[in-house]
Structure 1
Amino acid sequence: MGEQQEREPGGRHQATPEPTVTLSPSAELPAMGEDELDLLRQTGRSWAEALRDRRNVLTTLPLDPGLGRYRSPPTPTRFGRFAPVEMFRVAEPGEPDELVATGPSGEAESLPGRMLARIRRTILGPPLTSAAVVHERMRKLVALPVLSSDLLSSVAYGPEAMLTVLALAGSSALVLSLPIGAVLVVLMIVVGISYRQTIPAYPHGAGSYIVAGDNLGRRVGLAAAAGLIIDYILTVSVSVAAGVHAVTSALPGLMPWTVPFGLLAIAVLLAGNLRGVRTSGNIFAAPTYLFIVAIAVLVTVGLVRAASRGFTPIPPEPVAATRSTGLLLVLLAFSSGATSMTGIEAVSNAVPAFRAPEWRNGRTTLTWMISLLVVMFVGLMLLIHFDGVTPRADQTLLSQLAHRTFPTGPWYVLIQAATALILLFAANTAFNDLPRLLFFMARDGYVPRRFLHMGDRLAFNNGLMALAVAAAVILVAFRGHTESLIPLFAVGVFLAFTLSQAGMVVHWLRKRGPHWRKRLTLNAAGTLLSGVVLLTAAITKFTEGAWVVVIAVPLLILVALRVRRHYDMVRVQLTPHPSRLNVARPVNPPSVAETSRRATGPEKAEHRPDSGEEEGPQTGEEPETEESPQEIWHLVVVPVERLNLAALRALAYAVSIGQPVLAVHISPSEDEAARFCQQWDAWGDHVRLELIVSPYRAIVAPLACYLEALHALRPDVTLTVILPEIVVRRRWHQVLHSNVPRHLRRALRQLPGIVVTTVPIHIPHAGVQRTK
């Protein structure tokens, strides 16, 4: 089927909050611009010249394309792949004149197929219609734990990462943890306030990518996106690895099962998020609140006990020094401790997931998150200092603090369980944000457009599965060792932070709204502090693994630019233009009398669709006996996704056959159907069009069932289905385009009386000019 139109990034945002962009299924088929509609009008005039007075011949169909004469659904033949579900309903009076696919997608007839469908339904839940996207939003009390789980859980390993570096200089260097922690608190507040300013200025989500791209250029925006992609993938790996480590700290016998447990946790997170935003939020909210309560109890009891001894610190255990204390060591400890801020950008990336008003609810939630982070981080740092705990290989700092604070009773187990749960489910933040980032990048043409597609539960299934697979590969490669992953983690996180804050500095310089100098100063401070962490982490941890990120970011940018280059070429090749269409010659379809004879058949006059008689579905099986040209009556059907050059060529080929032609458009929503009608009207409505609204976003199953219904209505009519298909020269380009034509051919191959023809549209290599 044809490709969607490109959208240019940049210049879309205002200084004041705008209506938030809805991440809807209709994004796969964006509206045409006025220039494109003008081209369609010119093309339509060329078609009118070519067809002249023969339009009635082409539009006189041998059957009713609206299936309006059915009182019950057609019975599939034994060749059918779909069970007899009621797939369509006819529009009621006052509704648009279109069919609506009432079944989710159709179910397989085989026993294994039905079993798989039931398992899928049990795990994921029933499918949601496209109209439900406005209800799949999170309220603040659900969004807080879902989006803050990554941020708040980082206090379980951020302070430990900082102390592990300081311990290299011996026990005496651990006293530096408090002043370094104080600087980190300042960084948290500055960056948090900066993102508070970003939310109303850019309420569309995907914050760092959009902000950097709009203000610093598309390559800088792609660098921020690359940092976010690495951030989210490593968030899953680090969080799951840390969660499993918390479990094995309490139960050392489970240490050999670290990697299998981590993979199981990723699978559970994937399944939960495939159920949709609202459902996954309700599932994964409890662990975050449990962790907040557990840390609050731990810090409160620990500080009360420290107060009972006059806040006198307990001397830490002696640690042998392997490095001298210096500026480089302090900077390294600072950058390691800064991992306590990972996830602070989550709200700005997920603003569309909030209930209206989205930007205001998002900003409020971010304020709560920053406040909780600062309180928890300060409390834990003070408790670590007063209790004199030091990093150990066999036990986490939180486990040591819990042991000392609660030597008996159930509280130690509760704290460890809460820590393990939030670390495991902290990855849920990445599962919420990365698919949305990929959605925006796909909309701009930098990643495959299949990341625009919403699954049965209105989740971005392709983005979720890509994240799960990438995180699982990294987890296995590093054998679940958190310490090996953190050096990679910090660079990607603070690259996005730095570019986002720098973009906001340019934004205020351009917009200069109320209090813009104060806002610019805050963002400049955030840029400076985040940049220090980024450079320190990249330099000091380069040999420890950060080199992977330093190399990966430019590679991701290069790949994104190559993908965009290909989509730009496809857009140019598929843009309709009269000079490219060879339709100036008049077409010569059969005469009206011949078409009427074929529409009724020599002995089937009683089945004319306009005769007013009731006609039900054809039952039973009739042998395929068409052995001569006189026994074949045609209807040419052209599925049209978008009126671009691919669709117009398929329609031109269909018209050239000289038989009645029916165009069919499958739309995921009423809004998109209305947009397509605008394109069709601009072109000129030269052939009959049937609109089918597929509220569950399926394409292949509704179209196959519709064609089967047409064949059941008139088994004596041969349906010739003409599919436009993009043909690319490079193998890797295939993943950038839809597989719908191939899947549709496979589905229709099983149906009798249906012939499938492909009209290929060849896309040349970059730099190859089209021959006009």
Structure 2
Amino acid sequence: MRKLVALPVLSADALSSVAYGPEALLVILVLGGAAGLAYSVPVALAIVFLMLAVGVSYRQTIRAYPHGGGSYIVATDNLGRVPGLMAAAGLMTDYILTVAVSVSSGMAAVTSALPWLADDVVPIGLLVIALLLAGNLRGVRQAGALFAAPTYAFIIAVLSLVVAGLYDASDRGFEPVPPPALPAVEGVGVLLVMRAFASGATAMTGIEAISNAVPAFQPVAWRNARTALTWMIGLLVVMFAGTIAVVHFSGVVPEAGETVLSQLARRTFGSGGMYVFIQAATALVLLLAANTAYNDFPRVLFLLARDDFAPRIFLRLGDRLAFSNGIIVLSVAAALVYAVFEGRTASLIPLYAVGVFLAFTLSQSGMVVHWWRGRERHWRKSLCFNAIGALLSAAVFVTAGITKFTQGAWLAILTVGVFLLVTTRIHRHYDTVREALRLHPQSIEIPGRTMSPRPDGDPSALPAAVVPPREQQDAEAETTPEEIRHLSVVAVDVLHQAGMRALAYAASLQQPVLVLHVSPSEEDAERFRESWLLWGGHLPLRIIISPYRAIVAPLISYIESLHHQRPDLTITVILPEIVVRHWWHRILHSCLAGRLRRALRPLPKIVVTTVPFHVQDFPG
């Protein structure tokens, strides 16, 4: 992408947080009455400094990881497995709450302009999440002016509001309008200020997005990404600080039925076209920000599954080349959170800060270790920037965890702990299965005597008996064993004990056998071919290249072509099946047999069978 397109697409999450970040800060300070609101400017300045520090830190991350450096990758590479998993937990919590908070804030923008919808925010919000789910399952992609327009519209709306608000304040000599009389619910102290700081810091969500997506930029990608990040941080600082300044000069305070941005827009522009434009731009950019999570959440799950910390179903791309399973999990989790908290942004914010700043802290700490180990050019300066970012992010994480613990931060912390427990047990399970399936010199031997196709594997060269008349070929009219002519097709993903057992079973039937393997790339195909020659090579092999990691569709296509080429044959598709002791382990393994049966059921003379391989003595 060009920078002008990449900037709004990748910055939507960060810039849209201006719609709720300043208000989250003020909602806490207003508890201290007018004395509490007096701290809004100093707290906002502290958050601006944090934005600049973390933004500069991520510029160093882009330079060190020009192919994309998310928190999970950076933390795992430099800090180890557990910190990497903690970063992933923080990221995934962040993405779930990005959807929930963006939808709730978008609904708040809508109900501020259309108050009669206020009682229906939960069903409407759930409908929006369902539409996001459907759109992303259909393969909707963020690209071009269509997705850039809402972000640019929001930038124009907020900057117009800030400029007009400051212009009005200049007529009064920048004399603040006294806020309405506010009863103090809490005393103004360090704890209140820290809570406000942690809430307002949620305006930094999404800063990591550009460092994750460096390869999406035009060459030189890392340099363009750093430029886009600089522009994003600059816009975020101006919009956040400007909004707080206008609030300070106008005397606006948070209200239950109307957002702060809506109040500012109504006071500045009235209820005409400009007000409608600001509210519409706010709602649209928040919807776009929610959609950004649909790109990043499934990718984190994919990385975890690739490293055996999540079920392998998250490796699979759907028919529309989207990580369908990850998209479904994100939608269900976000909808559940949104419904439980009844679409209230203020209730969701305490959960938000913990996950965001846990990921920030671990990512920046990992970068400190990276520079210390590598000692590359300008490493001291980069280490210093990342260390400052790590310390400040850790301060916000600890502050949010302590001050908002009873308000919901406990749930985010508990989620991280449960995530660590589940992912480590999944990894242990896969380690145990891998050891049980590992080949050894005494592995199952393939019988040498088997009727098989020619060495080149051409299915048309299968032993040909008399071919029945055309009208009988597809009629499944065979009534005696002698009339049935077989071809066994063995689908093998990896050469392990279960795969070798399936091959041995197929060969033992003394019928023609063809082995199918699906590889995502030529390199993977070559590695499998080398293993095949080492451990097997007794049977004809066909390798199908599937660059999008799809497995079922290529297998079905190939089997259908065999059926249409030789409709006289009964094709038995043989699959190795790993059988585990506990039912909850089954979701960690492929359900390929069931999917193939459903897909091939319309075709006559196709049999799908499995050869079980039992993995015993599982811990837990």
TM-score normalised by the chain length of structure 2: 0.92
Larger RCO, structures 1/2 (Cα 8 Å, 6+ apart): 1
Alignment match, 1:638: 490
Give ranges in structure 2 of 5+ residues lacking alignment: 454-460
> Secondary structure of the equivalent of 1:427?
helix
| Kept after mapping to 1: 8 A contact 2:484/2:569 | yes
> Secondary structure of the equivalent of 1:600?
coil
> Secondary structure of the equivalent of 1:390?
coil
Alignment match, 1:561: 424
Given candidates 445, 448, 466, the residue that maps to 1:583 is 445
Distance across 2 between alignment mates of 1:402 and 1:204: 41
Task: Render the CA deviation track for 1:532-556: whole Å, top value 9, x for unaligned.
Answer: 1111111111111111112111100
> Secondary structure of the equivalent of 2:257?
coil
Distance across 2 between alignment mates of 1:697 and 1:442: 13
Alignment match, 2:573: 721
Shift of 1:409: 3.5
Shift of 1:144: 1.6
Distance across 2 between alignment mates of 1:726 and 1:426: 41
> Within 5 Å, which residues of 2 pair with 1:69-88?
none
Distance across 2 between alignment mates of 1:179 and 1:420: 29
1:739 paired with 2:570, answer no
1:650 paired with 2:502, answer yes
Distance across 2 between alignment mates of 1:430 and 1:476: 18
Shift of 1:394: 1.7
The structure-2 alpha-carbon separation of the partners of 1:207 and 1:698, relative to structure 1 and needing over 3 Å to count, comes to closer
Alignment match, 1:600: 464
Alignment match, 1:157: 20
Given candidates 250, 253, 260, the residue that maps to 1:387 is 250
Shift of 1:472: 0.7
1:440 paired with 2:440, answer no
1:370 paired with 2:233, answer yes
Distance across 2 between alignment mates of 1:406 and 1:548: 41
Shift of 1:528: 1.6
Alignment match, 1:273: 136
Task: Render the CA deviation track for 1:194-213: whole Å, top value 9, x for unaligned.
Answer: 11111221244361111222
Shift of 1:376: 0.7
Shift of 1:361: 3.0
1:418 paired with 2:418, answer no
| Kept after mapping to 2: 8 A contact 1:206/1:348 | yes
Alignment match, 2:327: 464
The AA in structure 2 aligned to 1:145 is: P
Shift of 1:281: 6.0
| Kept after mapping to 2: 8 A contact 1:163/1:391 | yes
Alignment match, 1:90: none
| Kept after mapping to 2: 8 A contact 1:272/1:280 | no
Task: Render the CA deviation track for 1:51-99: whole Å, top value 9, x for unaligned.
Answer: xxxxxxxxxxxxxxxxxxxxxxxxxxxxxxxxxxxxxxxxxxxxxxxxx
Alignment match, 2:582: 730
> Secondary structure of the equivalent of 1:343?
coil
Alignment match, 2:615: 763
The structure-2 alpha-carbon separation of the partners of 1:302 and 1:764, relative to structure 1 and needing over 3 Å to count, comes to same
Distance across 1 between alignment mates of 2:142 and 2:567: 45
Distance across 2 between alignment mates of 1:349 and 1:656: 50
Distance across 1 between alignment mates of 2:304 and 2:326: 11
1:492 paired with 2:355, answer yes
| Kept after mapping to 2: 8 A contact 1:277/1:432 | no
Distance across 2 between alignment mates of 1:552 and 1:408: 43
Range with bigger deviation, 347-356 or 325-334: 347-356
Alignment match, 1:297: 160
The structure-2 alpha-carbon separation of the partners of 1:267 and 1:203, relative to structure 1 and needing over 3 Å to count, comes to farther
The structure-2 alpha-carbon separation of the partners of 1:600 and 1:287, relative to structure 1 and needing over 3 Å to count, comes to closer
Given candidates 517, 523, 529, the residue that maps to 2:392 is 529
The structure-2 alpha-carbon separation of the partners of 1:165 and 1:678, relative to structure 1 and needing over 3 Å to count, comes to same
Distance across 1 between alignment mates of 2:550 and 2:36: 61
Distance across 2 between alignment mates of 1:717 and 1:432: 44
> Secondary structure of the equivalent of 1:638?
strand
> Secondary structure of the equivalent of 1:561?
helix
Alignment match, 2:189: 326
1:185 paired with 2:40, answer no
Shift of 1:671: 5.2
The structure-2 alpha-carbon separation of the partners of 1:365 and 1:273, relative to structure 1 and needing over 3 Å to count, comes to farther
Shift of 1:761: 1.7
> Secondary structure of the equivalent of 1:724?
strand
| Kept after mapping to 2: 8 A contact 1:302/1:405 | yes
Distance across 2 between alignment mates of 1:230 and 1:281: 28
Distance across 2 between alignment mates of 1:184 and 1:241: 23
Distance across 1 between alignment mates of 2:61 and 2:530: 36
The structure-2 alpha-carbon separation of the partners of 1:759 and 1:684, relative to structure 1 and needing over 3 Å to count, comes to closer
> Secondary structure of the equivalent of 1:582?
coil
Q: Whose helix proportion is higher, 1 or 2? A: 2
Distance across 1 between alignment mates of 2:143 and 2:537: 45
Distance across 2 between alignment mates of 1:643 and 1:618: 39
> Within 5 Å, which residues of 2 pair with 1:602-681?
603=466, 618=470, 621=473, 623-668=475-520, 670=522, 672-681=524-533
Distance across 2 between alignment mates of 1:453 and 1:282: 30
Distance across 2 between alignment mates of 1:500 and 1:591: 55
Range with bigger deviation, 423-432 or 434-443: 423-432
Distance across 1 between alignment mates of 2:180 and 2:122: 31
TM-score normalised by the chain length of structure 1: 0.75
The AA in structure 2 aligned to 1:723 is: L
1:687 paired with 2:539, answer yes
Shift of 1:222: 0.7
Given candidates 455, 475, 481, the residue that maps to 2:318 is 455
Shift of 1:273: 3.2
Shift of 1:268: 2.9
Alignment match, 1:612: none
1:228 paired with 2:84, answer no
The AA in structure 2 aligned to 1:656 is: S
Given candidates 418, 431, 434, the residue that maps to 1:571 is 434
Task: Render the CA deviation track for 1:466-509: whole Å, top value 9, x for unaligned.
Answer: 11111011111111111111111111111111111111122222
Shift of 1:233: 0.3
The AA in structure 2 aligned to 1:214 is: D
1:359 paired with 2:211, answer no
Task: Render the CA deviation track for 1:573-627: whole Å, top value 9, x for unaligned.
Answer: 2222222x2328x6544799xxxx99232x56xx9xxxxxxxxx95655554544
Task: Render the CA deviation track for 1:699-728: whole Å, top value 9, x for unaligned.
Answer: 435434543443444444433332111212
Distance across 2 between alignment mates of 1:522 and 1:556: 30
Larger radius of gyration: 1
Give ranges in structure 1 of 5+ residues lacking alignment: 1-137, 608-616
| Kept after mapping to 1: 8 A contact 2:102/2:290 | yes
The AA in structure 2 aligned to 1:164 is: V
| Kept after mapping to 2: 8 A contact 1:598/1:633 | no
1:519 paired with 2:382, answer yes
The AA in structure 1 aligned to 2:593 is: P
Shift of 1:375: 1.0
The structure-2 alpha-carbon separation of the partners of 1:214 and 1:307, relative to structure 1 and needing over 3 Å to count, comes to same
Distance across 1 between alignment mates of 2:474 and 2:141: 49
Range with bigger deviation, 475-484 or 258-267: 258-267
| Kept after mapping to 2: 8 A contact 1:448/1:563 | yes
> Secondary structure of the equivalent of 1:395?
coil
Distance across 1 between alignment mates of 2:181 and 2:472: 88
> Within 5 Å, which residues of 2 pair with 1:187-226?
187-205=50-68, 207-226=70-89
| Kept after mapping to 2: 8 A contact 1:643/1:679 | yes
Shift of 1:765: 4.2
The AA in structure 2 aligned to 1:652 is: A
| Kept after mapping to 1: 8 A contact 2:57/2:385 | yes
State, as a whole percentage, how many aligned pairs show the same letter. Answer: 60
| Kept after mapping to 1: 8 A contact 2:9/2:142 | no
Distance across 2 between alignment mates of 1:263 and 1:664: 43
Distance across 2 between alignment mates of 1:188 and 1:280: 26
Shift of 1:356: 4.3
Distance across 1 between alignment mates of 2:614 and 2:143: 42
The AA in structure 1 aligned to 2:498 is: A
* Aligned positions, number: 614
The AA in structure 1 aligned to 2:24 is: A
| Kept after mapping to 2: 8 A contact 1:349/1:437 | no
